[in-house]
């Protein structure tokens, strides 16, 4: 996935723009809450941890943060369809980093306005913390055998971001954000994801044979790597382990799997000839999707392989 972090300074114009867009009336008296801002974006899964309960993933970023902060973990459910297995669900919608930047810009501006002098920074993907472990510790889900966060409502079709801020637990409670700190739980290990994985990557914990990783690998592929991509049948990513998960089936049955976020729903490539849709995309549209970070040449190579005309050694 594209690496992105938010270490920008002045976000006043951005957050004011988004407050107007989402009709949130902000005053120093606290007319709105952090919870309200998240809900305006149709984000309904969030909880906080003290930073002392989070495990560092990036020591450099971690060292830049002031101590004694709270970390609000935010989930971005993205499932809008499966493109008939030809494109991973996360690759079939606009890059979530764009939405995360908008959300965290609004939250940073709100904290600066209501709590002058307080620290607030948003992160997505390239985080100071182990995101899956932290979100599980905050009670937002469990850790799957495929190393993804699994939630009751959206299964594992969620992206994770976090707002690091110097608000206390009491202040967060007034902002509508629960603070939770529990031991992270793992899934029941039913084995369905392992059995569904076309290459055994889930069972072996190997990224070398993971089809999602291979479709993102730049340059020429070996004959074995190309064969694995062809086995998976997807030009970008792989959802086999996620689709097989019983939590996915339960979410489908309950009708909660589909994202409530228009940013994702409205950008879904669709089930009708998704590969053709990608091939026909103009450069401006192409750049809005997650696969753009590996450039069109990589995606075109994968399409060639899937169509049975691989030219790799």
Active-site residues, by number, are: 125
Q: Is there a contact between 76 and 90 (Cβ–Cβ < 8 Å)?
A: no
- Put residue 184 in one of left, alpha, beta given phi > 0 → left and psi -120 to 50 → alpha: beta
Q: 57 near 162, Cβ under 8 Å?
A: no
Phi, psi (5° rounding) for residue 252? -65, -45
Dist CA 264 CA 42 (whole Å): 11
Tally of residues, the chain: 313
Helix (H, G, I), strand (E, B), or coil: what is residue 300? helix
Q: Nearest CA to 229 among 279, 303, 290, 294?
A: 303
Q: Provide the Cα torsion 248, 249, 253, 255; round to 10°.
A: 20
Q: Could you identify the residue written with the tokens 């999707």?
A: 289
- Identify the helix (H) or strand (E) that includes residue 162: strand 158-165
CA dihedral 20, 173, 177, 139 (to 10 degrees): 180
Alpha carbon distance 173, 152 (integer Å):
23
Q: Are strands 142-143 and 70-77 parallel, antiparallel or unpaired?
A: unpaired
> Residue 42: left (phi > 0), alpha (psi -120 to 50), or beta?
left
Cβ-based neighbour number of residue 35 at 10 Å: 17
């Amino acid at each position: 996935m594209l690496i992105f972090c938010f270490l920008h300074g002045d976000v006043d114009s951005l957050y004011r723009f988004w407050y107007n867009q989402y009709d949130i009336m902000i005053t120093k008296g606290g007319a709105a809450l952090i919870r309200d801002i998240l809900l305006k974006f149709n984000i309904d899964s969030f909880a906080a941890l003290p930073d002392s309960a989070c495990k560092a993933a990036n020591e450099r970023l971690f060292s830049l943060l002031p101590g004694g902060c709270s970390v609000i973990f935010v989930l971005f459910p993205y499932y809008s369809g499966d493109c008939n297995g030809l494109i991973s669900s996360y690759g079939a919608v606009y890059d979530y980093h764009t939405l995360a930047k908008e959300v965290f810009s609004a939250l940073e501006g709100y904290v600066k306005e209501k709590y002058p002098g307080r620290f607030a920074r948003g992160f997505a993907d390239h985080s100071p913390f182990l995101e899956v472990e932290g979100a599980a510790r905050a009670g937002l889900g469990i850790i799957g055998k495929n190393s993804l966060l699994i939630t009751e409502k959206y299964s594992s079709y969620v992206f994770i971001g976090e707002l690091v801020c110097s608000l206390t637990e009491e202040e967060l409670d007034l902002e509508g954000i629960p603070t939770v700190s529990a031991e992270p739980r793992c899934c029941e290990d039913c084995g369905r994801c392992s059995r569904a994985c076309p290459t055994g990557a889930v069972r072996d914990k190997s990224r070398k044979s993971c089809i999602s990783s291979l479709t993102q690998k730049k340059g020429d592929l070996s004959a074995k790597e190309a064969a694995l991509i062809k086995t998976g049948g997807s030009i970008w990513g792989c959802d086999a382990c996620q689709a097989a998960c019983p939590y996915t089936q339960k979410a489908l049955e309950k009708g909660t799997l589909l994202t409530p976020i228009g940013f994702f729903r409205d950008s879904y490539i669709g089930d009708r000839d998704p590969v053709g849709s990608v091939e026909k995309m103009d450069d401006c549209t192409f750049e809005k999707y997650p696969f753009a970070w590996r450039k069109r040449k990589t995606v075109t190579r994968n399409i060639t392989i899937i169509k049975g005309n691989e030219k790799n050694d």
